[in-house]
Amino acid sequence: MRNFILIVLICLFASKSTWCQSKQYEVYALKFASSAHLWPIADWVDKGPASDSLRIDFMIWLIKGNGKTILVDAGFLNDIPDAKEFAIVNYVRPDSTLQKLGLKPADITDIVLSHPHWDHIDGLDLFPNAQVWMQQDDFYYYVGAAWQKGGNSGGFNKRDVRKLIDKNLAGKLTLVNGDNQEIIPGIKVFTGSRHTFNSQYVLVETGTNKVILASDNIWVYYSLEHMQPASVGGTYDPAGYVNAMQRMKTLVTNPRYIIPGHDGKIFSNFPVVKEGVVKID
């Protein structure tokens, strides 16, 4: 008890302490669209069962605390042609989903981009005040080598490249150089799964649990539960994808708090705050 009181006093009188600040974040998943049909797990997991299916949802993640209102990823606009193959239903523009939590687009202070596929980056310009954080190697590949002969631009949309460059020109882009980097007190990013050239996932200190927002570094729970990589095309490095999942399990006290990028079960696994919004708690 004496140690607990001491910690509380330290936090009260040293508000700038990274340790104290890192104990104040809340984390939410916000669904803004769904695919109309169920998908075979085999479409998302290498050697996964074709006879079992799952619901695919599209979501962004909100991290709130310490004077920050942060998104992980920015979603997409429904006019993007790439969305057609998913037969999108129940679409709400990503910035509008924030209203469920009493927030406006201008309230977003930061966006941590896990990777630049269209469904995670296309909504970037909806949040005018946000400072964007992205892996340096992912950025350079995305705006450069991906579009050269022999490059891989699958999942990338040219209009999103322009949006990202505009953010950079406006001084609203910070490039993160590598693995295990604390970008904001209590928030770290890690690399290794190579879903894109150098995608990143986010570790958040909440004070009660460490939460990993894996985004597409894990597409669905089945991969995490069975330690199987994404299906073909889902990673540059299948072994690295599995190694990243194994590492994630060492970074949290409970794998319940490792959150995949598209598995609809997220919205039944956690407490419902509003329709389509759950608190990762």
Cβ 214 vs Cβ 256: under 8 Å:
no
Report residues of the chain scoring pLDDT below 50.
Answer: 1-22
Look at the pTM and tell me if it is higher than 0.85. yes
pLDDT at 5: 41
pLDDT at 168: 98
pLDDT at 24: 85
CATH number for 26-279 (one of 3.60.15.10, 3.90.1150.10, 3.40.50.9100, 3.40.50.360): it is 3.60.15.10
pLDDT at 23: 54
Could you tell me the residue ranges of all domains in the chain?
A: 26-279
